[in-house]
Amino acid sequence: MADLTFTDQNFEGEVLKSESPVLVDFWAAWCAPCRIVDPIVHELAGEYGEKLKVGKLNVDENPNVSQAYSVMSIPTIMLFKKGQPVKSVIGAQSKENFKKAIDEVLAS
C-alpha cells in the first residue's frame, strides 16, 4: 500500500477506523533521525502491501494527534490495530526491529 499522509483532520478516518492495521510514522522535517527512518518506512510500505496501511504524520503541522498519543520523541513509529495503538518503536532503529514489531502486531 502506498505511503499516506496523516493529518489531524484525516487521522480518525484513515487510522482509527481502518479495517487493516496501520503504521504511523510521527516525524518532523528538521529531525535528522526521521530522515534516516524515512526510506525504511517507504520500503516497509512496499513489502507489507495490502496487509498494512503505512503513513506519516508531521508533528509540527498536526499537534493534536501528536499530543493525544503523547508523542514526545521523534521519530516514533506507532502501530494501530482496530483503532488502538498497540506497539511503538521510538528513535532510529534497524529495519529488522521495525519488521519484528510489525510482524508481532499482524500475528496478534
Question: Which residues are catalytic, by number?
Answer: 31, 34
Question: Rounded CA gap, 40 and 103, in Å?
Answer: 15
Question: Rounded CA gap, 107 and 64, in Å?
Answer: 30
- In contact, 95 and 102? CB cutoff 8 Å: no
Question: Rounded CA gap, 104 and 108, in Å?
Answer: 6
